[in-house]
Amino acid sequence: ININVPNHDYILDFYYKVLGCGMDPRKAANLRPGAPKKTLWANCGASQFHLPYGDVGQAIRGTIGLRFQNLNQVLERLENFPDCYQSYQVVVDETTGQQCIQIMDQYGNHMHCREQDLNRPAPRLTEDWKQPVLWKSDQKEWGDIADDFGIDENQPDGPNCRGIDYVEFRVPPGTAETIALFYEKVLEATT
């Protein structure tokens, strides 16, 4: 998912500390002083958020569904970093009866965080193909960046965010059929 951000002040703590995404080492150099490129990648399982600088913070018209191993850890991190998001609430998903944490980031993006259903195995893609992440032990190469945003080796499964399960778009009335046709024909996606 590509989301333009006007600066990284809010997103660093939000994506890496609150959501528990892993920093992609292929873009970590963009945090070094004087770095020419200003895009970061926040990895979760086989999925990624691309976070390039843009003039205006981008808000997706809809909801991004995220999967976690443990929602209690997300709640704890929300309490520890209250300045990097607008709001959150804990609700019960009407469809599944499971807890869901609804978070709105500083730019108006809505994230619905759900715990992985232990009765259903994680998608094979998520287990077999994960994006690379920066580890705290990468300090020799990355210094403070690894210390601030690296995944702790005591968390051997990597980032707490296990993947992006879905992106749900709110579209104007009368346009869903055309949009679905585009996704089916061009991207070969099931709609």
Instruction: Look up residue 115 and give its DSSP letter.
Output: E
More confident residue, 128 or 182: 182
- The predicted-structure confidence for 8-44, as pLDDT tens digits, reads as follows 777 899 999 999 999 999 999 888 888 866 889 999 8
Across the range 129-156, mean pLDDT stands at: 85
3-state DSSP call for residue 53?
A: strand
Instruction: Look up residue 89 and give its DSSP letter.
Output: E
pTM of the predicted model as reported, rounded to 2 decimal places: 0.85
CA-nearest of 65, 181, 171, 46 to 189 is: 181
Across the chain, what does the average pLDDT equal?
87
Beta bridge partners of 114: 67, 100
Task: Give the pLDDT score at 120.
Answer: 63
Q: How far apart are CA 21 and CA 44, in angstroms?
A: 5
Task: Give the pLDDT score at 127.
Answer: 55
pLDDT band at 156 (very low <50, low <70, confident <90, very high): low
Beta bridge partners of 169: 62
3-state DSSP call for residue 32?
A: coil
Three-class HEC string of 153-178? CCCCCCCCEEEEEEEEECCCCCCHHH
CA-nearest of 87, 107, 80 to 20 is: 80
Across the range 99-104, mean pLDDT stands at: 96
